[in-house]
Chains A and B, each alone.
Chain A
């Protein structure tokens, strides 16, 4: 529904216009009022976020490479590109390779201001990269490795190559009650709620703007 004004005018862009799956070069979001209505952010928060967004991505679109770079700035010691890719994919189900402001805000509205179930649902989609409804051991390992990558070298105790694998397997085995090699959403939620105060922990990631 978001209007995508494709390239127009210049002759060199002619071929690109014809291709409907070509990546758009510029994007203007919907009005502030409608976005404030649709999401759980207030007008001020939206304004603040859009100003920052527009500053870093003047074209209104975030491409995968740009997103990776932005994300890496928060984890300067390690390599955050793997995790950034996972997050990017979780926001971009269509696989178009770029995110618009609305997509980002709508996703954030769920993650930041949603209920614990919604947050866990997003987390599940983050883990489940192939979207088959189950988390396999491979996917778990992939995610945990991505998290460990963000640490970098200057940590104590040192990170061994097999640490991520062991950690992932431990968690997976704990989650996978029936031992069928795949974790469903219910198993996931149960495992998360068990012996931790999930709601408080999930809330601690709220950012005040």
Chain B
């Protein structure tokens, strides 16, 4: 495969070259191949085919580079190898695109790679153990993204970001990103990256395997798992750095330098061609990083930008110090000698992003909602109060966790390039879908003709208003005894009133029931819920009016509720309303039930008996009436009230006795004073009959004697 691969390599390598050269190269290449096969690896192919691989200017360049890298003047061998290795890596990524960065660079990279391989004389898969450092032999690099996919404009964007967006290069970040699609040679970055230079001071125990890794990784190209991110090498502690390379060769599918062009890149949130999370690369430094050089050391602590709780911070720094001390004293603990090859799967950038997201979630204007927040500070204050009492210390201000004010980034790249697509794909981002949906809904509202939709829309609107009112009230109640401002109260009642008005409750409307908006609302379960929740907030008159309307249209509502069976929702609040009514009002309501309907011969009363809500409401009304009558409170009845009352009672009794037991529904609540009510007006037999029907608990003997 190596040999088969060579022509490919050279093509890539020569992409930047002129066409004629390419042709010549190909020819010579074949010759070369033949030579190689015949005579074994030829050490100086360049001599035969000068034009083949590299323009002659490469040699001096390379020498230059080598010289640069070995500024310390140390032994070129392993040092250079390592440096080259270093260079090789970022250069690979930076250098997957051969065109833009500058052909010189690429060629440097190739040379350096070959050189290191030269030095090692590893039995690599490729035949490139060339003794002469001057020999330029193209190493199979990954096929350029650009070469493979004509649609890709610039595959470097993502890689730059991945590559240079390390904490170690904070200071240079703005510069880097500004110049990324430009020409900053990666190797210069390496020099500036202090972390790397430190590494170089310690000669690694064996570079053989390390470089082999590099070589093999180069080969894998696309074959390697493109999803695997290269471990965040720079941030590892210097000591373990060479070791990790060791391990990486061992069992690790090659951590191929992350290829932005990989076809699978489209989706994962870690795709670098697109944003990482909601951030855009150019905004990162501004948002997340504070220019802090100490970031490099934050291995175990989360990024410096996150503010930990002070105690937590203290623990972590203590631990770090201890760790460091331990390290200096004795070699690492049991597990460390075998450095984890799988560690560092998440880059610090990713970690920071997660932390950022969580911090954002923590932020909220309404701290009253946060149970944990409340409880925690409650406890803290309590503890401190205790301490104060005990120790008589000065009151220490409770330390609060300050979440960094991370502004949600609402900006995004106007030009999003997705690798692997033809040209520019239509992309749009939405940061608050809820707002967008609501906006659309608003726009649609006017057009909607359907009654039902309108009703639903109204319900939603009113519900929101109601929720706001309740929220305000809750806040007041939580305000720990603070007196509510009269103006606030006024405001609230106004809100409630507006909701009530919006409901458009019309008593005894002459309109068709289908036209009545309030009733339409009531037909929907949520509408019933709305009314049920609203009732406690209403004034007495408003509540009574509502009750009256509901009772008036009770047959209609009951009919509509057959499927839903949500009328009982209303029972409880209506019960409250009933409990406060005067006798006259009560009579009025009852009269609604006793008025014969135009459509059917049946009394609404009778129909109510067959519906759970209806019967419960009826019982509740009767019970209240009985309560009023048997109490000593002066009733102030209007003329005709008592007659109406007795009439009603008789009617009820009659209906009850007539209704077959089977169709009599159990009420939600059976008031205990109904029987005594009946006792007053009816004979014993009837009462017993009714008692059986209603399945009341047997009367107390005293009451029974009265009948």
Partners in one complex: no
